[in-house]
Amino acid sequence: MADLPRNKKEKLKQYRTFLVLLVVIAVVWFFSKMSSTSVHIESLPVKYEGIDTARFVVTDADSAVRISVEGDGFSALFHHFRWKGRYLTVSPKQLKKRGAVYSYVVDVNDYKDAISSQYAPFGRYEIVEYKESLTVNMRERHKKGFVPKLEGVEISFADQYGLGGVPRLEPDSIFLYGSEESLAKITSLHTRATKLDIGRESDKYELELDPVWQQYPDLRVSQSKVLLSVPVEAYTEKEFEVKVNFESPDTAMKVKLYPERVTVRVWVPQHDYLTEEAEDMIAVVRYNGDPNLNELPVAISRFPSNVRIKKIEPEKVQYVIIK
């Protein structure tokens, strides 16, 4: 009976020795297997950029480049973890059309260096074969063209400078893409309301379009911003004596105004200084029937588009009703 504990200790020792040998054999096998060279199949995801998704709907596209890579197991394991979540960025160039289908065919050889760089930093790894082309198939959405309108943009100039011509929007055409039903509900595209402080030189300003297309989830716009070209030129001051006209709901009403003429100081383009005349302007006062009003404010109801009103003197005139 005294030998029983000794037998148990020997058996435990044998078990431990066996397990150690088993671990050693497994480690040797693992390192031997991982060190040997073999061919691994890799799948490198592809990200396409530069495709006009406003105009086209992608119906089918190769999502990855399948690569046969020769290397040892350690390199394969390293790249599996290091490049997880990485992708190959591809920029398709040549658009082809066959019937209603538009296609890009990308030559993977153009990206061979980019693919190789994914595997170069570590271990023995060599690309021995890869898919030679990627295909993207698309269909064109319905489209509708618009001439963008300049609306709601308040332009202010520094003194002695003003508009030197007609402001122009670029591009002159904006396209919406989507279903025919949604496109029919959009009748025009115009700029979003904003204010612009213009300097002394002609320049271009980026403006946002009012995004009315966002009311319809299926619509896409070719571009949501436009460039406004504002020509600027030097202005000079000039003044005119302008007769004041009286307006009233009672067309038979007669009044005497004091004074009957006002001085209107304006900024005019230098090249138009001699051509602008007082006859090109109309000054008015409007009577609303309130007998408590002793003076009426003067407004300039018509003046040339290239003229900027600086000041009216006096700003108000008195009136006497003639009975």
Provide mean pLDDT across the span 92-117. Answer: 86
Q: Find out if CATH 2.170.120 is the number for domain 142-230.
A: yes
Q: What CA dihedral angle connects 81, 83, 85 and 87, to 10 degrees?
A: -160
CATH code 2.170.120.30 region(s) in the chain: 236-322
Q: Judge contact between 150 and 191, C-beta under 8 A.
A: yes
Q: pLDDT at position 121, please?
A: 47
Tens of pLDDT along 74-93?
666 666 666 566 788 889 98
Residue 195 clears pLDDT 90, i.e. is over it:
yes
Provide mean pLDDT across the span 160-189. Answer: 92
Model confidence at 126, pLDDT cuts 50, 70, 90, reads low
Query: CA-to-CA distance for 165 and 294, rounded, in angstroms?
Result: 41
Query: CA-to-CA distance for 110 and 133, rounded, in angstroms?
Result: 10
CB-based contacts of 53, cutoff 8 Å, min separation 6? 220
Q: How far is CA 3 from CA 13, 14, 245, 322, in A?
A: 15, 17, 134, 144
Q: Judge contact between 87 and 49, C-beta under 8 A.
A: no
Tens of pLDDT along 273-310?
888 888 889 999 998 888 788 899 999 999 988 888 99
Q: pLDDT at position 308, please?
A: 86
Query: CA-to-CA distance for 119 and 128, rounded, in angstroms?
Result: 12
Q: What average pLDDT does the chain have?
A: 85
Q: Judge contact between 54 and 222, C-beta under 8 A.
A: yes
Tell which wins on pLDDT, 83 or 174: 174
Tens of pLDDT along 138-167?
998 999 999 999 999 998 888 788 888 889
Architecture of domain 236-322 in this structure:
Beta Complex (2.170)
- Sheet of strand 95-98: strand arrangement: 56-61, 133-140, 101-107, 95-98
Roughly how many angstroms between the first and final C-alpha of the chain, as a whole number?
A: 146
- Between strands 194-198 and 153-157, the pairing is parallel
- Between strands 37-48 and 88-90, the pairing is parallel
Query: CA-to-CA distance for 108 and 282, rounded, in angstroms?
Result: 71
Specify the CATH number of the domain 37-140: 2.170.120
Nearest Cα residue to 125 out of 34, 46, 66, 40: 40
Tell which wins on pLDDT, 290 or 224: 224
Phi–psi pair at 86, nearest 5 degrees:
-85, 165
Q: Which residue has the tokens 């009748």?
A: 187
Q: Judge contact between 210 and 192, C-beta under 8 A.
A: yes
The proportion of the chain whose per-residue pLDDT surpasses 90, expressed as a percent, equals 40
Query: CA-to-CA distance for 148 and 151, rounded, in angstroms?
Result: 9
Beta bridge partners of 305: none
Q: pLDDT at position 94, please?
A: 87
